[in-house]
Amino acid sequence: MIPPGSTLGILGGGQLGRMTALAAARLGYSCHVFAPEPDSPAFAVARHTCASYEDRAALEAFADSVSVVTLEFENVPVAALEILARRVRVRPDATVLAVTQDRLAEKRFLEARGFPLARYRDVRSREDAGRALAELGDRGVLKTTRLGYDGRGQRIVASPGEAAEAFAALGGGPQVLETFVTFEREISVVTARRADGARASYPPVENRHEHHILRTTLAPAPIAPALAREAVALAEAIAEALGVVGLLAVEMFVTGESGLLVNELAPRPHNSGHWTLDACPVSQFEQLVRAICDLPLGDPTPFAAAVMDNLLGEEVHAWPRLLAEPGARLHLYGKREVRPGRKMGHVTRLFPLAGGLTR
Ligand code: AMP
């Protein structure tokens, strides 16, 4: 057990790291954040090292200053985790990262274990892209296997010619083509797992995207209880199969024909779990701290329903109005530069648990 008073290491300095450090502080831990960007939002609330993930000496000094390392961003080079793992516990470990930072590896992992996902093809060339679309159907989504987020690195394609063009426009590197899923809704489950296999899951939430960026989360998702149980069981089974210690967020499509299809995994706190800060006894960030420190996992049962809206780009300027709104819970990430679509903060509004979620 890693007791309160210890120092936790966090790789990545974004808002997820910032909110993890704040939750850790509440339990009496200190955090040391490692990130390459000088203006990282998490730097304002924790001790930090600003260095490249390739800087071995900086990584080793970081490892020696903490009791355990976790991450808030899955695109950290696996080699960096391996350097750290020689000196300190890393949770989740490099094998989890290797699967979840590569869409193709992730899909193969899920497929090999019988988890449901949309049909896909490995794409390495323009010809592959055109052929894959012809095989999979009328419409598909071409995605880079690495470094895609918030809709970056993906294109919807509707003809083999378009698929070939999109392959080049996405940089011509390794890609996957998925069938376009006509879903009823998108949901996600955040589950926590400790090294001894103990687990706790938040209820599924519904996520609404705009331009591939999360706009709104409705919690809990307005879905049938049996489907909610199925989604939680699926997320827990994937976390177990991966051997995650920490958090795993599982994004899924709800479809009429095929039921649940797994879209994407993230082995870290997730934007769709921000509502837990205001509507659950223990937030996803505190749950991460508990899981990596071998503490008892907290109760994930919400005491209120919640609607979480991201504040994207200029929307953050609404903060005075949001502060004045009774019941609105405002979270700002301290990012100085406002860019279109950039996640600047979020606001959560609570509602009685039964009903009220038809927005
Ligand atoms: P991703 O980066 O894979 O999470 O994709 C971002 C968003 O794009 C998803 O949340 C969906 O709204 C949409 N999307 C991604 N893949 C597909 C797909 N195969 N079919 C339909 N929509 C998709």
Whether residue 356 is predicted with pLDDT greater than 50 in this model: the reply is no
% residues pLDDT > 90 (the chain)? 93
Cα dihedral sign, 262-266-271-276: positive
Q: Provide the pLDDT for residue 137.
A: 87
Q: In this structure, are residues 198 and 214 in contact, taking their beta carbons and an 8 Å threshold?
A: no
CATH class of 119-179: alpha beta
Centre of ligand 1 to C-alpha 311, Å, is 20
> Closest Cα to atom 7, ligand 1: which residue?
212
What is the fold, at CATH topology level, of the domain defined by 185-351?
D-amino Acid Aminotransferase; Chain A, domain 1 (3.30.470)
Range from 141-155, 230-244, 345-359 that averages highest in pLDDT: 230-244
Centre of ligand 1 to C-alpha 260, Å, is 14
Whether residue 254 is predicted with pLDDT greater than 50 in this model: the reply is yes
Q: Provide the pLDDT for residue 355.
A: 52
Q: Provide the pLDDT for residue 354.
A: 75
Whether residue 359 is predicted with pLDDT greater than 50 in this model: the reply is no
Which string of DSSP letters, residue by residue, matches 95-141?
HHHHHHT-HHHHHHHHHHTT--B--EEEE-SHHHHHHHHHHH-S-EE
Q: Which atom of ligand 1 is nearest to the CA of 140?
A: 19
Residues 158-175 have a mean pLDDT of 92
Question: How many angstroms separate the CA atoms of 145 and 42, rounded?
Answer: 27
Q: How far does CA 9 lie from the centroid of its chain? A: 18
Name residues whose C-beta falls within 8 Å of residue 99's C-beta, 6 or more positions apart in sequence. 105, 106, 109, 242, 265
Whether residue 152 is predicted with pLDDT greater than 90 in this model: the reply is no
> Closest Cα to atom 4, ligand 1: which residue?
264
Q: Provide the pLDDT for residue 358.
A: 45
Centre of ligand 1 to C-alpha 279, Å, is 27
Give pLDDT tens digits for 47-97.
999 999 999 999 999 999 999 999 999 889 999 999 999 999 999 999 999
Asked: is 7-90 a CATH 3.40.50.970 domain? The reply is no
End-to-end CA distance of the chain: 43
Three-state secondary structure call for residue 296: coil
Q: Is 1 exposed, middle or buried (0-12, 13-18, 19+ CB in 10 A)?
A: exposed
- In the chain, domain spans: 7-90, 119-179, 185-351
Give pLDDT tens digits for 319-347.
999 999 999 999 999 999 999 999 999 99
Q: Provide the pLDDT for residue 74.
A: 87
Residues 136-150 have a mean pLDDT of 86
The two tokens of residue 42 are 């998490």
Whether residue 113 is predicted with pLDDT greater than 80 in this model: the reply is yes
Averaged pLDDT of the chain: 95
**SS3 letters across 25-68:** HHCCCEEEEEECCCCCHHHHHCEEEECCCCCHHHHHHHHHCCCE
Q: How far does CA 273 lie from the centroid of its chain? A: 9
Q: Provide the pLDDT for residue 147.
A: 80
**CB of residue 319 inside a 6 A radius of ligand 1:** no
Q: How many CB atoms lie within 10 A of CB 69?
A: 27
Three-state secondary structure call for residue 22: helix
Give pLDDT tens digits for 258-317.
899 999 999 999 999 999 999 999 999 999 999 999 999 999 999 999 999 999 999 999
Give pLDDT tens digits for 305-323.
999 999 999 999 999 999 9
**CB of residue 146 inside a 6 A radius of ligand 1:** no
